[in-house]
Amino acid sequence: MGESMRVPRRKEDPIYGLQVKIKNDRRKNLLNLSIGVLVDERGELYQFSAVKKAEKRVYEGGGAKEYLPIDGLSSFCSKIQELVLGKDAEAYTAQTVGGTAALHIAGQFIRQFCTKKIFIPEPTWVNHRGSLEAAGLVVATYPYPVSKTGTLHVGAIVKAIRGMPNGSAIVFQASCHNPTGIDPTEQEWRTLLQEAGQRKLTILFDLAYQGLGKSLEEDARAIALSHKAGLEFFIASSCSKNFGLYGERVGALTVVCKGKKRAAVSSQIRHIIRTNYSSPPRHGAEIVSTILNTPSLRKEWESELSTLRALLASLRRKSGFIHSRGLFCMTTLGRRRVEQIRQQEAIYLADDGRINIAALSEKNIPRIRKLAP
Q: Which residues are catalytic?
A: 125, 206, 241
User: How many C-beta neighbours within 10 Å does residue 11 have?
Assistant: 6
Which segments of the chain does DSSP mark as H helices, in order?
16-24, 49-60, 74-85, 98-113, 127-134, 154-162, 186-198, 221-228, 240-243, 261-276, 283-292, 295-319, 335-345, 365-368
Cα–Cα nearest to 55, from 366, 342, 297: 297
176 Cβ contact partners less than 8 Å away, ≥ 6 residues apart: 183, 208, 209, 212, 213, 219, 325, 326, 327, 328
- Residue 10 CA to residue 6 CA, distance in Å, equals 13
Q: Which residue pairs, CB below 8 angstroms and at least 24 apart, start in 195-199?
A: 195/158, 195/161, 195/162, 196/161, 196/170, 196/231, 197/229, 197/231, 199/161, 199/162, 199/164, 199/165, 199/166, 199/167, 199/168
Q: Under a CB-based contact definition with an 8 Å cutoff, are residues 64 and 75 in contact?
A: no
Q: Under a CB-based contact definition with an 8 Å cutoff, are residues 121 and 141 in contact?
A: yes
Which segments of 114-260 does DSSP mark as H helices, in order?
127-134, 154-162, 186-198, 221-228, 240-243
Q: Say which amino acid occupies 313.
A: A
